[in-house]
Amino acid sequence: MNINATLVNLYHVCKRECWLHANGVRMEHTSEVVYDGKLLHEISYPQRAEKHTEIELSARLSPKSKNGKEITLYGKIDFYDARNKIIHETKRSDKVENAHEWQVKYYLWLLKLNGIDHVSAILEYPLIRHTSHLDLRETDEQYLEEVVIKVAELKDGEECPPVIHTKICKSCSYYELCYVDEE
């Protein structure tokens, strides 16, 4: 069972969206979550390109999920400043900032699971001039371990979770799919 940062992010936005994405249902890319933060970062911070590297990481998680399948964690960090041990993650809007924070903390955890400790992160919203500084706490690691197990169980579940009826639905790529019977 593979889990990645997008699923961790979506789990905090909407369980239904997480399930749809995890099960390969893809709609047009209009969603806030899937907006290309990498492109926005390159446009907003062109001077940083040489200092940052892209890294891909993976780690096996023990304990396993309740269904007995081993969980493998994956993550691709677009902008890692190895010299200063800082991840830069760029987003368009802070409407789902909590989900963004857990995505970034997942990267920090994945780095730690790969032996790269004491990394911090900067979550940047250049369009609204907002920045958050994040570190990984011990309680975050425990929480993330619980979350990835729950995401694995959600992904494996046969039933798609219900529509959540919140403001975020309007900017979600699955909006038409979720509200087709209500229009």
Q: Minimum distance from CB of 155 to ligand SF4 (Å)?
A: 15
The tokens of 140 are what?
A: 């975050």
The tokens of 76 are what?
A: 């691709």
40, 90 contact by CB (below 8 A): yes
Considering only 8, 11, 16, 123, the residue that binds ligand SF4 (CB under 6 A) is: 16
Q: Is 86 left (phi over 0), alpha (psi -120 to 50) or beta?
A: beta
x-or-dash pattern for ligand SF4, window 116-155, by CB under 6 A?
Answer: ----------------------------------------
Total site size for ligand SF4, rule CB under 6 A: 12
178 binds ligand SF4 (CB under 6 A): yes
7 binds ligand SF4 (CB under 6 A): no
The tokens of 77 are what?
A: 């960090």
- Closest by CA position to 154, among listed 5, 45, 14, 18: 18
Using the contact rule CB under 6 A, the part of the chain among 12-20, 63-71, 98-106, 124-132 near ligand SF4 is 12-20
- Closest by CA position to 75, among listed 61, 63, 92: 61
Distance between CA atoms of 48 and 24, rounded to whole angstroms?
34
Considering only 8, 12, 14, 117, the residue that binds ligand SF4 (CB under 6 A) is: 14
Binding stretches for ligand SF4 (CB under 6 A) = 14, 16-17, 20, 163-164, 168-169, 172, 174-175, 178
